[in-house]
Amino acid sequence: MRRSFKVATVFAGAAALAGGYGPTALAATTQATTAGLTWGPCSTTGNSHWVHLYYPGGDHADECFGFAGHHATNATIASLCPGNNFGSIYSAATQTAQNYPFSPGKAARAPMSFWTGHGGDYHVGSLSISFWSGNATCPA
């Protein structure tokens, strides 16, 4: 009885880690979003001019954000396209605890090192859009 309990506990812990406690896409989080900001999978929003966040290895659908507002989250992304938006991303990670601005015209889709100056994927704590202007778009 005791041995099967340990196996079940290890199995349940592994399942919880894989299913609910590991890295999640932005849409799967239940964090605060201010009124005005709209977001969802890029494939369903149909708005190529919204901010696009792309995940490492393409393991989650790209997330898109439009209109002005703020979204607190907990996700790791590989690249960003600002579309026609002006705003910033923020990470509370010790080595990069600061805002990094984005704006149209700098890059269509660029790795996070382009925006932050740090190599590798980037842990996003929040995303803010101040305003939008023009017709810049992002690749699918």
State the total domains in the chain: 1
Looking at per-residue confidence, does 92 or 126 come out higher? 126
126 Cα distance to chain centroid: 8
Please report whether residue 5 resides in a domain. Answer: no
Nearest by Cα to 65 from 84, 37, 46, 90? 37
Domain membership of residue 127 as a residue range: 24-132
Please report whether residue 44 resides in a domain. Answer: yes
Convert the pLDDT of each residue in 24-77 to its tens digit: 344 444 345 666 888 888 887 678 899 999 999 877 888 999 999 999 888 888
Model pTM above 0.75: no
Please report whether residue 1 resides in a domain. Answer: no
pLDDT greater than 90 at residue 10: no
Distances (CA, A) of 58 to 2, 54, 55, 103: 41, 7, 5, 23
Please report whether residue 137 resides in a domain. Answer: no
Contact 124/78 with Cβ under 8 angstroms?
no
Please report whether residue 121 resides in a domain. Answer: yes
Which CATH number is 46's domain given? 2.60.20
